[in-house]
Amino acid sequence: MTLEESLPSIAELEKYFDRLWPICRSLTGAGFRDSMRILKELMPLEESEIPSGTQVFDWTVPDEWNIEDAFVENEVGVKVIDFKNSNLHVLNYSEPIDQWMDLEVLDKYLHSLPDQPNAIPYLTTYYKRRWGFCLTHEQRQRLKPGKYRAVIRSTLAPGVLTYGHAVLPATVKTADEVLLSTYLCHPSMANNELSGPLVMSYVFKALQALPERRYNYRFVVVPETIGAIAYLAKHGEWLKEHCKAGLVVTCCGDANRITYKRSRQGNAGIDRCVIDTLAGYKKSYGKSYEVEDFFPTGSDERQYCSPGFNLPVGSLMRSRYGTYPEYHTSLDDKSFISFEALQESVLLYLRALRAFECNERLVTTVRCGEPMLGRRGLYPSLGSSKQTEEAVSRMMYLLNFCDGENDLCAVAEKAGCSILDLASHASILKKEGLLVRQPGSSS
Amino acid sequence: MTLEESLPSIAELEKYFDRLWPICRSLTGAGFRDSMRILKELMPLEESEIPSGTQVFDWTVPDEWNIEDAFVENEVGVKVIDFKNSNLHVLNYSEPIDQWMDLEVLDKYLHSLPDQPNAIPYLTTYYKRRWGFCLTHEQRQRLKPGKYRAVIRSTLAPGVLTYGHAVLPATVKTADEVLLSTYLCHPSMANNELSGPLVMSYVFKALQALPERRYNYRFVVVPETIGAIAYLAKHGEWLKEHCKAGLVVTCCGDANRITYKRSRQGNAGIDRCVIDTLAGYKKSYGKSYEVEDFFPTGSDERQYCSPGFNLPVGSLMRSRYGTYPEYHTSLDDKSFISFEALQESVLLYLRALRAFECNERLVTTVRCGEPMLGRRGLYPSLGSSKQTEEAVSRMMYLLNFCDGENDLCAVAEKAGCSILDLASHASILKKEGLLVRQPGSSS
Amino acid sequence: MTLEESLPSIAELEKYFDRLWPICRSLTGAGFRDSMRILKELMPLEESEIPSGTQVFDWTVPDEWNIEDAFVENEVGVKVIDFKNSNLHVLNYSEPIDQWMDLEVLDKYLHSLPDQPNAIPYLTTYYKRRWGFCLTHEQRQRLKPGKYRAVIRSTLAPGVLTYGHAVLPATVKTADEVLLSTYLCHPSMANNELSGPLVMSYVFKALQALPERRYNYRFVVVPETIGAIAYLAKHGEWLKEHCKAGLVVTCCGDANRITYKRSRQGNAGIDRCVIDTLAGYKKSYGKSYEVEDFFPTGSDERQYCSPGFNLPVGSLMRSRYGTYPEYHTSLDDKSFISFEALQESVLLYLRALRAFECNERLVTTVRCGEPMLGRRGLYPSLGSSKQTEEAVSRMMYLLNFCDGENDLCAVAEKAGCSILDLASHASILKKEGLLVRQPGSSS
């Protein structure tokens, strides 16, 4: 089965997107749990709960938030703002309210974007008790002076923060892991956020279908920031020892471009393998990409790459958070993304992970002079043919540069090709006993 | 008081310039001492004297030179060359002479510049006994055949080499020092040399007015080369231990450009801080600048950066010696420099030194996951606002990259801003206990 | 005697070229030995023989091949392909044959280049027993259907592989060596191959004429690949210890360009010295050059740079193998090369080797402050002359940067000149005792 054959269908992706879309997710509460229950149809996520008030490193798990309804109605009972139309209308984590007030008072609790008058902004108040409504600027300008009733039927009370994870075991004996992490705390937004959990789920399914995996794969679904911190509080020490690579899966749904944000280490194996993959993909399909250095704002790589962990975790995205005008508004919807792009994102993740699987540190067994490829049938017996064969050249690169200093990715860079271009040749040379795994190398 | 408020007035700069200008300075002698006496009105320089004949490393202090008058007169008693018009007319360190001779004999003792016919060259003969006159080429060509009397009323005799220094103490307990060094051995020239002592004097006054200084500042005024070598012979071992940064102050009076010559170390803290300062200044005011690698010809950085010392000493200049046609001629005069440029040079020195003062090596106290800025009032409580706040981003850079490896300058480089852009945030985070000085770090 | 005076004359080069050209060389056999006998007139090569069947690292020395005649004749006895016209006509290492056959059968044993219809390809079958003829595509297309007799009068039988080497001793006591290696297994081709042995022979003669050599020079003449491997099997351990630099001499006969292929180490002394030489040569004569990173296909540097040896061996060429259309065809003939270019190649080798000889690691004896050049007559006594003297500047670079970290080549790079530009100054400063050889430095 090729990687392409293991991709989800457009219909399947769209079905799950449509089911997840309307749910009002947040850091905590029923919306998060209901969404995770849907993902569990695709991945065997194991749920964990952390009680409100628990200290996780420098943070404290907040009270659990649940919401039933929210609206603003005018004196004649018309709902001028209605949570049922968009769950972005309520300031996320709003405390409950039910009160009549004049427009000028209400106005202090309204949030809109004058520069994007048709967009509802996405705002949260996780760590400060207040309430509010978000609406388009056009909607706001239509509000007439008068009395309004603001109603938010929410609860904020001790409860739990929920997260899920699943470990897909390697087919060989190893404690080495690859981490994939996404978040599930955003209400109805498409690129940021549903693209992340969807791509991750289908990466899981495709990896599960593979006959061989050299690494254990850890799939983590958390609420952003606090969830990743809570996860590290519980699993960080394990990850420090075993996590050899990781990717934060987010913003991978739009069709515009491909972006890779390096890990804080900057040139970790996963960084080099993703870039090798994107370079190869560009060569084959003309798709360009950008590579960004790590920066400490962003998504959960902030936590995985905090100096106390400094894990080799990057992020493979399309249009990165903060760079497109629809970001964190109601315009980041189904029309902003493309299901073909989602499919392609799954493929890019699978290619990058395959490159990482292939990126062994091999050593050549014939170190003095080159090995005689001819008697192994690997060299044209009309030896001086004018065309230097690409295959011979790649084998020569492997046999010369697999000296214990270079992993496959480094050899590929020298040879001007990609890891996967070398991998089949490496495999032949391993069978011939000309290359062996470097003793004691974890990857 | 801002740095700008601590700058000298144009009038003050001009007053001191005009007093220093006419004095015939040299490596030794009354001219040097008279000039230093004037500088002592601005800085409490302590004078030292080294007797002629003293061995300083590979050099020997020469005899002291003093000059009263010098001229060439023709047969009718007209002075055709007169030291009173310009002290560049006498070959510096000329031995005494009083003799009649034909023009063709005299001519062997004359020096002019055919390519710059209106400039008197500046020439010296410190280490070889001879005499001579310098004049413009135009003047030389006007000399008619006939008898001339050459008179130089100088003395060359055992005496002393004089230098001065002042140490402005830190306001905290530390033995760490910053060195500023200039020279005072050139007769009437403006960019090279008076700009140096003037800028240094006002840097002294401004630093003295600061409420806090993390370093001791050492101000050194020497005759060039032999003076710096003599100074190192006496204070070099101390400097090797305590000098954390230094700048040779020279050629900082013209309005044309800004030049930084790196220390021999190449990427010392002072190099990075000056460049950070110039980059920030360019960003704010559009003033471009050039950075040059260290080269072993030049001014007294040659000695401070000789391999036995290799101190982190660069040189912040405007039009660098040797690069402008007026250099080492009578054309390097008051009209060549600008007092506004001198003011600006004082400012650039102060900014660079403030950057160096700020360039601590801090370490983050919350290493696992990022610290919760929200509960410290440092994060907008409407957390998901679309605009990533610059302030938050800079704090995040500090908290993530202050890991013991990076000083503030390195963090600023990653964050795409200047040290001073980070410094106020660093100060807040220190108050919150989120950043602390790295234990055992000297800077 | 200048290097230029030690170059061979065009006539001499051409005479040897013409004598070597017609011989049918191969990995083994009389052609190789006859050719080496001619080279021995120029260099005192000592011959060694390795019996067929001997294991050398991963390879086995093949049977010896000798050939007397080869042709294809048609039914009326006309030789339509004749070894006497070009020894490329026979597939090198062909087994003997004498057989009549139809054109369609014969055709399976013919090799031509449709894209270069007037070129006879050069092909070999060292390690697989078969026979064949090579011819121009035009010639092949003229063959009419009918019967042909294919005759190859060759022998393939146990014998020996022959190689030669000569060591030109240093004029000082040292075990350090410089290796020059070329190959002599190609039949009539000019750039690849006769340029190599010719240039090497005259480099030998010129070095031999020098009054001083700081290194022992080892000259190696082998059949390509198997010969270099056999040589390393015997001398590799010695070379690992003593070989400080090496160059594979090949493809240095055409007039088109200059190419340097770096050693696998990438920045070894020899790499830097050759590049310094080519940069200086370009500066003086406008001849441009290309520098290529090491790649593990190519010539015998593959063996010298195999990971078990990793010797500092590069290759200084003109049009590199594989890059010109005439390569490995009958078009790589006398008209493709230029004897002036061969002369110039000898000169470039001599210059590069002189640069390597000069590339000492010196240390300055006056480390504190700069030495006083004036009292040694090395500094203009009218010290402040406007023109910074190039000579003074270069001495200053030497005195400042010869700190034990930098060899001469590194100082030259900083000073923006070539090693040889510095060497004469270094020699003066050594005489003055201001620079000394770094104790314990091998080079």
Place of tokens 């919401």: A67
Torsion of CA C93, C98, C100, C105, to 10 degrees: -20
What is residue C384's three-state secondary structure? coil
Would the CB atoms of C127 and A374 count as touching at under 8 Å? yes
**How does pLDDT run across B295-312, given as a tens digit for each residue?**
999 999 999 999 999 999
Would the CB atoms of A382 and C322 count as touching at under 8 Å? no
Min distance A304 CA to chain B CA atoms (Å): 7
What is residue C310's three-state secondary structure? coil
- pLDDT value of residue C383: 55
- Starting at the edge strand found earlier in the chain, the sheet holding A97-102 runs A79-82, A64-74, A147-157, A97-102
What is residue A72's three-state secondary structure? strand
Gap between the Cα atoms of A228 and A180, Å rounded? 12
**How does pLDDT run across C202-233, given as a tens digit for each residue?**
999 999 999 999 999 999 999 999 999 999 99
- pLDDT value of residue B442: 57
Average pLDDT over residues B72-94: 97
- pLDDT value of residue B191: 96
Would the CB atoms of C369 and B228 count as touching at under 8 Å? yes
Average pLDDT over residues C329-347: 97
**How does pLDDT run across A62-85, given as a tens digit for each residue?**
999 999 999 999 999 999 999 999
Average pLDDT over residues B25-39: 98
Bridge partner list, B65 = B156
How many residues are given for chain C?
443
Would the CB atoms of A393 and C56 count as touching at under 8 Å? no
pLDDT at B382 over 90: no
Reported in sequence order, the residue ranges of C273-401 that DSSP labels E, i.e. its strands, are 290-292, 313-317, 362-364
Interchain CB contact of A122 with B (< 8 Å) = yes
Interchain CB contact of A385 with C (< 8 Å) = yes
Q: Output the six-digit token pair for A92.
A: 């996320």
Pick from B248, B270, B413: which is nearest to B351 by CA? B270
Q: Could you tell me what percent of chain B has a pLDDT over 90?
A: 93
Pick from B284, B330, B376: which is nearest to B123 by CA? B330
Gap between the Cα atoms of B373 and B353, Å rounded? 31
pLDDT at B105 over 70: yes
- pLDDT value of residue B420: 92
| Cα separation values, A2 from A207, A213, A350, B284, Å | 12, 15, 11, 56
Q: Output the six-digit token pair for C170.
A: 């240093």
Q: How many CB atoms lie within 10 A of CB C166?
A: 21
Using an 8 Å CB-CB cutoff, list chain B residues near C370: 58, 225, 229, 296, 302-303, 306
Phi-psi map region of B233: left, alpha, beta (phi>0 left; psi -120 to 50 alpha):
alpha
Using an 8 Å CB-CB cutoff, list chain A residues near C307: 364, 367, 400-401, 403
Min distance B183 CA to chain C CA atoms (Å): 15
- pLDDT value of residue B388: 52
Phi-psi map region of A328: left, alpha, beta (phi>0 left; psi -120 to 50 alpha):
left
Gap between the Cα atoms of A69 and A62, Å rounded? 21
pLDDT at B440 over 90: no
pLDDT range class, residue B386, cuts 50, 70, 90 = very low
pLDDT range class, residue B42, cuts 50, 70, 90 = very high
| B375: enclosing H helix or E strand | none
Cβ burial of A145 (10 Å; 0-12, 13-18, 19+) is exposed
CB C74 within 8 A of CB C150: no
Give me the DSSP letters along C41-82.
TTS-PEEEEEETT-EETTEEPPPEEEEEEEEEEETTS-EEEE
pLDDT at B363 over 50: yes
Gap between the Cα atoms of C127 and C44, Å rounded? 31
Gap between the Cα atoms of A132 and C346, Å rounded? 85
- pLDDT value of residue B93: 97
Would the CB atoms of A369 and C296 count as touching at under 8 Å? no
Place of tokens 């798990």: A61
Average pLDDT over residues C72-90: 97
Would the CB atoms of B396 and A302 count as touching at under 8 Å? yes
Residue type at position C66: N
- pLDDT value of residue A387: 46
Bridge partner list, B245 = B178
Q: What is the 3-state secondary structure (H, E, C) of A374-394?
A: HHHCCCCCCCCCCCCCHHHHH
Gap between the Cα atoms of B371 and B384, Å rounded? 17
- pLDDT value of residue A439: 79
Q: How many CB atoms lie within 10 A of CB A294?
A: 21
What tens-digit pLDDT sequence spans chain A (443 residues)? 788 899 999 999 999 999 999 999 999 999 999 999 999 999 999 999 999 999 999 999 999 999 999 999 999 999 999 999 999 999 999 999 999 999 999 999 999 999 999 999 999 999 999 999 999 999 999 999 999 999 999 999 999 999 999 999 999 999 999 999 999 999 999 999 999 999 999 999 999 999 999 999 999 999 999 999 999 999 999 999 999 999 999 999 999 889 999 999 999 999 999 999 999 999 999 999 999 999 999 999 999 999 999 999 999 999 999 999 999 999 999 999 999 999 999 999 999 999 999 999 999 999 999 999 999 988 887 754 544 578 999 999 999 999 999 999 999 999 999 999 999 999 999 999 999 998 776 54
Using an 8 Å CB-CB cutoff, list chain B residues near C364: 307
Would the CB atoms of A388 and C297 count as touching at under 8 Å? yes
Chains contacting A with at least 3 CB pairs below 8 Å? B, C
B306 CB-near residues (< 8 Å, 6+ apart)? C367, C368, C369, C370, C400
| Cα separation values, C418 from B5, C3, C78, C387, Å | 51, 17, 62, 21
Would the CB atoms of A368 and C308 count as touching at under 8 Å? yes
Using an 8 Å CB-CB cutoff, list chain A residues near B381: 125, 127-128, 130
Average pLDDT, chain B: 95
Min distance A1 CA to chain B CA atoms (Å): 40
Gap between the Cα atoms of A185 and A92, Å rounded? 10
Interchain CB contact of A175 with C (< 8 Å) = no
Pick from B159, B181, B201, B117: which is nearest to B26 by CA? B159
- pLDDT value of residue B441: 67
C368 CB-near residues (< 8 Å, 6+ apart)? B57, B232, B233, B236, B306, B308, B309
Output the CA torsion sign for B392, B393, B395, B396.
Answer: positive
A254 CB-near residues (< 8 Å, 6+ apart)? A191, A195, A318, A319, A324, A336, A337, A338, A341
Higher pLDDT pick, A127 / C442: A127
Interchain CB contact of B387 with A (< 8 Å) = no
Cβ burial of C82 (10 Å; 0-12, 13-18, 19+) is middle
Reported in sequence order, the residue ranges of A42-198 that DSSP labels E, i.e. its strands, are 46-51, 55-56, 59-60, 64-74, 79-82, 97-102, 110-111, 133-134, 147-157, 160-168, 177-183
Which of B376, B393, B400 to probe the A interface (max A CBs under 10 A)? B400
Q: pTM of the entire structure?
A: 0.91
Residue type at position A78: V
b/e code A66-76 from CB counts within 10 Å (16+ = b): bbeebbbbeee
CB C81 within 8 A of CB C133: yes
Gap between the Cα atoms of A239 and A235, Å rounded? 6
Place of tokens 């004649």: A76
C78 CB-near residues (< 8 Å, 6+ apart)? none
- pLDDT value of residue C259: 98
Interchain CB contact of B116 with A (< 8 Å) = no
pLDDT at B1 over 90: no
- pLDDT value of residue C384: 46
Would the CB atoms of B306 and C386 count as touching at under 8 Å? no
Would the CB atoms of C386 and B297 count as touching at under 8 Å? no
Residue type at position A60: T
**How does pLDDT run across C381-423, given as a tens digit for each residue?**
775 454 457 899 999 999 999 999 999 999 999 999 999 999 9
Using an 8 Å CB-CB cutoff, list chain B residues near A108: none
